[in-house]
Amino acid sequence: MRLKDVRHTRDLSSLPQLDGKAFTLVTIQDYYDGPLTGLVQQHNQHYWYEIIDSPLDGGSRYVIAQIDEEAVQDELYWDHLFSALVCDDRFRPSRNHPPERQAMFYDAYRKRTPLDIENAGVIGWMYMWAAES
C-alpha cells in the first residue's frame, strides 16, 4: 500500500501494527500538540512517520513508510537548519532564536521543493511512542 492510498482511505486494516517502542524519533517536520510528520529510525534504517488519526479512546496512530535516501537526507538537512535558525530544542520553545534568524529559515523553507513521498510504501502503523497500548 502506498502513502497516498492511506492518506485517501485512512484504512489501516490490511497493515500490520508495529511496536512503536522499536522506533526512535529522529525529526519532527510538523507539530501540533505532538509530532505529526517526520523521521523515525529502527536498526539504522530511517522511515517516514505520519499521523493518520487521533482516536478519542486511544493514542494517535501513525503510518510508517519507507522513503529513499535522498528524501531522508533532505529531511535531515531541513531539520538541522531549523535547529540552527529557529529553535535548537523543539520541545522547549523558550529557546527560540531571534526573529531575524527565524525569518532566514522560513524564507528558504517556503521556496524548497516539498518531499515527493506520495508513492512511498507503507510498512505498517503504530501508536505514538508514549501512547503505546
Q: Is pLDDT of 86 > 50? A: yes
Per DSSP, which regions of the chain are E strands?
Answer: 24-25, 30-31, 35-42, 45-53, 61-66, 121-127
Predicted local confidence at residue 131, as pLDDT: 42
Note whether 76 and 39 are within 8 A (CB): yes
Average pLDDT over residues 25-40: 88
Predicted local confidence at residue 133, as pLDDT: 38
Grid cell listed for 70: 535522498
What are the structural domain ranges in the chain?
3-131
Predicted local confidence at residue 128, as pLDDT: 76
The runs of H, that is alpha helices, within the chain are 3-9, 69-85, 99-111
End-to-end CA distance of the chain: 24
119 or 33, higher pLDDT: 119
Residue labelled with grid coordinates 517536520: 29
Q: Is pLDDT of 10 > 50? A: yes
